[in-house]
Chains A and B, each alone.
Chain A
């Protein structure tokens, strides 16, 4: 098991373009999370899935953001009509579905909107 995998590692896009990121969680983990981290801040929760069901979305996740986990395995995060304020590190994490369990993070996708 290679841990949580995220692709791409880096993405530079022009303002107004759409981008999509992929996350492959640890295989036996049925919970998957997306977080966003900006400079000088800790990761901020965006959304989470248990299997294929998206159970919570943060108010940080505007209508331009959509996340899917179609078969309860990998997940995608799409940002439409990107804005410069979307520039951040997007982190994916996964965990088992039980109380008091740690989440394991991927290496993140660094998005730069120019």
Chain B
């Protein structure tokens, strides 16, 4: 039972353009959502989060949008840079601790 789904295993974007990574969830009890970036042979690095009481959170080039009625969140990266090339995981939590991760989307930003 995959409660958090990232249906696009990979995405390629030109440098300077917008990258949009999507995530769907099934559990309406989730109240906190996060995005992590992961480079090969390293642990996930926290990027940005959003609580269920908001629909948007912005941090520099990264913006997360939450659509609770559709049980969908997305991460926008503008402008995309080659250093953004990595695997991106969305994660969801209900309560305060256990995160459920998606399977990841590999982003490649082309110079």
Residues of A within 8 A of B (CB): 4, 6, 31, 33, 40-45, 48, 56, 91, 93, 95, 97-108, 110
Cβ of B49 and Cβ of A100 under 8 Å apart? yes
Known: A40-B103, A102-B46; 11 extra A-B contacts, CB below 8 A, are A31-B97, A45-B98, A56-B97, A93-B43, A99-B96, A100-B96, A101-B96, A102-B34, A103-B46, A105-B36, A105-B45
Residues of B within 8 A of A (CB): 4, 31-32, 34, 36, 41-46, 49, 51, 89, 91, 96-104
Cβ of B103 and Cβ of A106 under 8 Å apart? no
- In the complex, which of the residues B41, B45, B91, B97 has the most CB atoms of chain A within 10 Å of its own CB atom? B97
Cβ of B32 and Cβ of A103 under 8 Å apart? no
Cβ of B100 and Cβ of A45 under 8 Å apart? yes
CA distance A43 to B42 in the complex (A): 13
Chain B binding surface SS class: strand
CB distance from A4 to the nearest CB of B (A): 7
Chain A hits for B42, CB < 8 A: 107-108
Residue ID in chain A nearest B101 by CB atoms: A42
Could you show 8 A-B contacts with beta carbons less than 8 Å apart? A41-B103, A42-B101, A43-B101, A45-B100, A101-B96, A105-B44, A107-B41, A108-B43
CB distance from A50 to the nearest CB of B (A): 8
